């Protein structure tokens, strides 16, 4: 004789985790837009902060990482920023460019969210008082970004 067991607690299937559900969707939440040149958030006419996509947040993180001197700010970990001061002290421009490629690649691959998988195609433009750096950054989700930054000498 088969027994029908009645449970005091409801039984249901456990749903798949959120990460499995959004495998091919954007994984990053919208983030406030930041104007690098002004050093302030981007706002509309009513002074409301504007938000960009997760891609915009990744590009901004890459740009700000290049513009931040490593170990210069107590609020950032040692993984944040580049060693620009050391690179500028190299004996010649080729050595400095090599040092910038190394430190920028290390900084961008140290992304705490793991968004960056490759950094390459560096170009350098030296001016009297600054250095313009451009590189291609490749994300784990297939996105590519061209990052441009101006460092004061």
- Residue pLDDT tens, the chain, 153 long: 556 667 676 766 666 655 444 444 456 677 899 888 888 999 999 999 999 998 999 999 999 999 999 877 777 777 788 999 999 999 999 999 999 999 999 999 999 889 999 999 999 999 999 999 999 999 998 999 999 999 998
Q: Encode burial over 58-86: b for 16+ CB neighbours within 10 A, e otherwise.
A: bbbbbbebbbbebeeeeeeeeebbbbbee
- Which residue range forms the structural domain that includes residue 71? 30-152
SS3 assignment, position 123: strand
CATH number, domain containing residue 90: 3.10.450.40
Question: Which of 71, 151, 150, 77 is closest to 111 using CA atoms?
Answer: 77
25 falls within a domain: no
Domain assignment present for residue 44? The answer is: yes
């Amino acid at each position: 004789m088969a027994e029908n067991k009645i449970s005091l607690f409801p039984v249901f299937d456990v749903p798949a985790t959120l990460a499995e559900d959004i495998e091919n969707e954007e994984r990053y939440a919208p983030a406030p837009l930041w104007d690098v040149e002004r050093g302030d958030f981007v706002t509309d006419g009513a002074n409301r902060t504007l938000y960009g996509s997760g891609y915009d947040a990744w590009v901004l993180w890459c740009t700000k990482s290049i513009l931040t001197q490593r170990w210069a700010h107590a609020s950032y970990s040692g993984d944040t920023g580049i060693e620009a001061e050391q690179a500028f002290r190299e004996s010649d421009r080729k050595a400095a460019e090599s040092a910038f490629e190394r430190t920028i690649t290390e900084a961008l691959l140290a992304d705490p969210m793991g968004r960056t998988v490759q950094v390459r195609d560096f170009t350098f433009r030296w001016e009297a008082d600054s250095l313009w750096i451009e590189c291609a950054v490749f994300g784990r989700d297939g996105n590519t970004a061209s990052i441009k930054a101006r460092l004061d000498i």
